[in-house]
């Protein structure tokens, strides 16, 4: 699964892991706005790793959670879904708008394999200082480089490190800025 090879999603251990993720996301989504420490604790239990500054607006859904790795200063707006059958690694200063979908899960192309119930996943990497616009979809295996912007409604099917938008996403602007951005005041 994590290695990008075919796997059986009905495996009892994987089913149990998904149930744990469902329980934790339910707890998170039902928590109150003033329970920020409780929310961080749930995310620490759910995700593979998190930075110290993280905000995830409910409602949030994921497959396993344990394959999600988040850097510092992370913000995810309402109604996002991450299908994390393979690793989803997000850098520092990542901002995710409402209704974003991040899919590592995919299925075999041939009908015979697909009908067999086997599935596979392809890792997604999102660099530092990235902004994902509302309702965008990040498809399996994509890498989004540092400082990139994905426009609202874009369907990203290829790696990018610029401003992209559309379906499928296409380059609409180059970014003229240094690779490493300091957030410290001069």
For the annotated catalytic residues, the residue numbers are: 107
The DSSP result for 9-64, as a single string, is: TT-HHHHHHHHHHHHHHHHHHTS-TT-HHHHHHHHHHHSSB--SSEEEPSPEEES-
Q: Answer yes or no: are the C-beta atoms of 90 and 70 closer than 8 Å.
A: yes
Residue 154, both tokens: 């874009």
d(CA 154, CA 165) in angstroms, rounded, equals 5
- Residues in contact with 5: Cβ distance below 8 Å, sequence separation at least 6, in sequence order: 120
105-106 and 88-90 strand pairing: unpaired
- Residues in contact with 134: Cβ distance below 8 Å, sequence separation at least 6, in sequence order: 77, 97, 98, 99, 100, 152, 153
């Amino acid at each position: 699964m994590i290695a990008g090879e075919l796997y059986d999603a009905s495996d009892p251990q994987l089913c149990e892991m998904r149930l744990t993720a469902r329980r934790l996301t339910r707890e998170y989504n039902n928590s109150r706005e003033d329970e920020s420490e409780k929310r961080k604790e749930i995310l620490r239990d759910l995700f593979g790793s998190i930075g110290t500054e993280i905000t995830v607006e409910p409602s949030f859904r994921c497959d396993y959670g344990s394959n999600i790795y988040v850097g510092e200063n992370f913000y995810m707006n309402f109604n996002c879904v991450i299908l994390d059958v393979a690793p989803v690694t997000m850098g520092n200063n990542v901002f995710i708008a409402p209704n974003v979908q991040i899919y590592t899960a995919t299925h075999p192309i041939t009908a015979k394999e697909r009908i067999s119930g086997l599935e596979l996943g392809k890792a997604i990497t999102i660099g530092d200082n990235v902004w994902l616009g509302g309702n965008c979809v990040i498809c399996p295996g994509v890498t989004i480089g540092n400082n990139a912007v994905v426009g609202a409604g874009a369907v990203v099917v290829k790696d990018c490190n610029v401003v992209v938008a559309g379906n499928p996403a296409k380059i609409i602007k180059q970014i003229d800025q240094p690779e490493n951005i300091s957030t410290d005041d001069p």
